[in-house]
């Protein structure tokens, strides 16, 4: 096992220790689980790391579950929703 030193605000350290104690684990184990979880999301079905302009991996996966209309402007989306609910305008 390799040792890692992080610089973190003392309040964050205290909170991490409190949470670890409550969960009967160590701060190191919580950090390792956090990193493993983030790595799993990045490799999930083509999801990408979060960066400006792109949705987070979980959001990206959820968006693929929803049928996107061909027209993507907010007004077009509103019109599509109204048409689906009420039918054609007369």
Domain range annotation of the chain: 10-86
**Residue-level pLDDT, tens digit, the chain, 90 residues:** 888 888 888 998 999 999 899 989 899 998 888 888 777 766 655 555 555 667 777 777 776 766 655 556 777 777 777 777 777 765
Given its phi and psi angles, is residue 48 left (phi above 0), alpha (psi -120 to 50 degrees) or beta?
A: beta
68: Cβ–Cβ under 8 A, 6 or more apart, which residues?
Answer: none
- What local confidence, expressed as pLDDT, does residue 9 receive? 87
d(CA 32, CA 73): 42
- What local confidence, expressed as pLDDT, does residue 37 receive? 79
Instruction: Measure the CA dihedral 81/86/87/88, to 10°.
Output: -90
């Amino acid at each position: 096992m390799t040792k890692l030193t992080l610089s973190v605000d003392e309040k964050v350290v205290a909170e991490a220790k409190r949470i670890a104690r409550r969960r009967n684990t160590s701060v190191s184990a919580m950090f390792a689980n956090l990193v493993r979880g983030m790595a799993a999301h990045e490799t999930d079905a083509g999801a990408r790391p979060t960066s400006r302009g792109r949705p987070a991996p979980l959001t990206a996966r959820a968006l693929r579950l929803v049928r996107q209309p061909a027209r993507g402007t907010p007004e077009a989306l509103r019109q599509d929703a109204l048409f689906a609910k009420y039918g054609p305008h007369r």
